[in-house]
């Protein structure tokens, strides 16, 4: 059995937190290098090797000469999950981590003689303002982007494709990761979770889109299992896979109705407050509303609009993400994607009952992990 030495960037991110335990339990994984401390429980594993690093710190990744030499001489798999996920970040800032960080990771990878796999986590929303069906091998377009995160990840994918001839690279595009499919637990709050809190508190009066626009959501445990699979057992160099709902999606109207039902079921007092769910409006109306709030709205409403205005407009560009390549590989590995109508209410219930007690700030950049 080949023993793997893994370098994981983004070990403390939403997906990284869930992925680390899966890698630890594998008999064929010898060491897992992470750029920062992992959880106390994970750190008990002899396989975890924390090293000081930063993907923005040139091709050395900010590593000491000793750590760099140890990793380069033995690493067989690199999983690049570190990212700046701030939708509102200036483009230059987003590029620093998402584009230049990827460039540095590739430069480091080119000096690793035993390397057999580089797996880069991206987003299905590199499709930007495109509409319709987006295939796994689609990339180049001129439709534009909703935010700097989408654009910087798109540019990073172009860079990754340019290096596929010289390095064993695979790209995993994730749709919106929600929470655990069994418990509903959310390890780290993201924009979608904050948007649900705004709905709960009647601070999101409208969302852009049409009632039948698709919302693609996936379970965290499914994503972690899929990343583990594609990084080791199911790795395919030169391929891009969509970790998404595919045809298993909810429309905006269905999502809002299920959200309302879950609020009422688990917080009966919510009904007494007479809170209305957001209205579904076209994009110009939503943008006019956002500008008006920024100009004359009160502080609380301005902050609420700031949370959603940089990602909610994506709902106005309806699309379905094809996932045939991903589905075929996961089916062969007996990895089953949980149905969104089953796990979505569990996540909303967990958020309500814990008071949105996820860990960390989703807007924080992850240059190291």
> 10 Å Cβ neighbour count for 273?
11
The pLDDT, as a whole number, for residue 38 is: 52
> 10 Å Cβ neighbour count for 330?
21
What is the enclosing helix (H) or strand (E) of 221?
helix 220-231
Give 39's pLDDT tier (boundaries 50, 70, 90).
low
| Over residues 113-134, mean pLDDT | 97
Q: Pairing mode, if any, of strands 214-215 and 250-251?
A: antiparallel
The pLDDT, as a whole number, for residue 363 is: 38
Length of the chain: 369
Contact predicate 14/361, CB 8 Å? no
Backbone angles phi, psi at 227, to 5 degrees: -65, -45
- Whether 360 has a pLDDT exceeding 50, the answer reads no
197-214 burial, b if ≥16 CB within 10 A, otherwise e? bbbbeebbbbbbbeeebb
- Whether 321 has a pLDDT exceeding 90, the answer reads yes
Name the residue among 314, 336, 341, 338 with its Cα closest to residue 326.
336
| Over residues 89-107, mean pLDDT | 97
3-class SS of residue 122: strand
Rounded (5°) CA angle 68-69-75: 85
Mean pLDDT of the chain: 91
pLDDT tens digits for range 51-86: 988 999 999 999 999 999 999 999 999 999 999 999
- Whether 106 has a pLDDT exceeding 60, the answer reads yes
The pLDDT, as a whole number, for residue 204 is: 86
3-class SS of residue 239: coil
Rounded (5°) CA angle 216-219-223: 100
The pLDDT, as a whole number, for residue 361 is: 42
The pLDDT, as a whole number, for residue 358 is: 52
Least confident of 198-207, 208-217, 273-282, 357-366: 357-366
- Whether 359 has a pLDDT exceeding 80, the answer reads no
Torsion, CA 301, CA 305, CA 306, CA 312, rounded to 10: 170
Tokens 């534009």: give the residue: 144
Q: pTM for the whole thing?
A: 0.93
Determine the distance from the C-alpha atom of residue 214 to the mean position of all C-alpha atoms in its chain, rounded to a whole number: 18
- Higher per-residue confidence, 267 vs 4: 4
CA atoms within 13 A on the CB side of 84: 28
The pLDDT, as a whole number, for residue 365 is: 44
- How far apart CA 348 and CA 341 sit, in angstroms, is 12
Name the CATH topology of 4-178+217-247+319-339: Rossmann fold (3.40.50)
The pLDDT, as a whole number, for residue 196 is: 93
The pLDDT, as a whole number, for residue 116 is: 97
Question: Hey, which residues does 77 pair with through a beta bridge?
Answer: 6, 117
The pLDDT, as a whole number, for residue 364 is: 43
pLDDT tens digits for range 220-259: 999 999 999 999 999 999 999 999 999 999 999 999 999 9
Give 125's pLDDT tier (boundaries 50, 70, 90).
very high
Residue ranges per structural domain of the chain: 4-178+217-247+319-339
- Whether 91 has a pLDDT exceeding 60, the answer reads yes
The pLDDT, as a whole number, for residue 40 is: 54
């Amino acid at each position: 059995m080949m023993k793997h030495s893994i370098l994981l960037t983004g070990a403390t991110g939403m997906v990284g937190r869930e992925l680390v335990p899966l890698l630890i339990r594998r008999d064929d994984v010898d060491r897992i290098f992470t750029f920062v401390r992992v959880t106390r429980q994970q750190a008990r594993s002899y396989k975890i090797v924390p090293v000081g690093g930063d993907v923005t710190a040139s091709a050395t990744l900010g590593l000491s000469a000793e750590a760099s030499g140890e990793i380069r001489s033995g690493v067989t798999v690199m999983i690049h999950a570190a990212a700046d996920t701030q939708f509102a970040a200036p483009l230059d800032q987003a590029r620093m981590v998402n584009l230049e960080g990827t460039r540095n990771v590739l430069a480091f990878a080119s000096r690793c003689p035993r390397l057999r796999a580089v797996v880069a986590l991206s987003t299905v929303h590199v499709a930007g303002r495109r509409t319709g069906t987006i295939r796994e091998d689609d990339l180049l377009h001129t439709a534009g982007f909703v935010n700097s995160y989408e654009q910087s990840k798109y540019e990073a994918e172009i860079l990754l494709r340019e290096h596929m001839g010289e390095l064993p690279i695979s790209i995993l595009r994730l749709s919106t990761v929600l929470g655990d499919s069994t418990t509903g637990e959310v390890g780290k709050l993201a924009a979608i979770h904050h948007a649900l809190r705004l709905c709960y508190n009647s601070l999101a009066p409208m969302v852009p889109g049409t009632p039948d626009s698709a919302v693609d959501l996936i379970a965290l445990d499914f994503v972690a299992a899929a990343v583990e699979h594609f990084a080791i057992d199911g790795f395919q160099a030169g391929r891009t896979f969509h970790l998404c709902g595919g045809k298993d999606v909810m429309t905006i109207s269905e999502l809002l109705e299920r959200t309302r039902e879950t609020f009422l079921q688990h917080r009966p007092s919510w009904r007494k407050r007479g809170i209305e769910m957001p209205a579904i409006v076209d994009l110009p109306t939503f943008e006019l509303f956002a500008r008006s709030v920024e100009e004359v709205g009160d502080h609380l409403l301005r902050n609420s609009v700031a949370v959603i205005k940089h990602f909610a407009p994506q709902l106005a560009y309806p699309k379905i993400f094809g996932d045939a390549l991903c589905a075929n590989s996961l089916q062969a590995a007996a990895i089953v994607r949980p149905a969104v109508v089953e796990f979505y209410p569990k996540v909303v219930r967990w958020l309500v009952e814990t008071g949105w007690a996820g860990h960390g700030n989703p807007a924080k950049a992850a240059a190291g992990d």
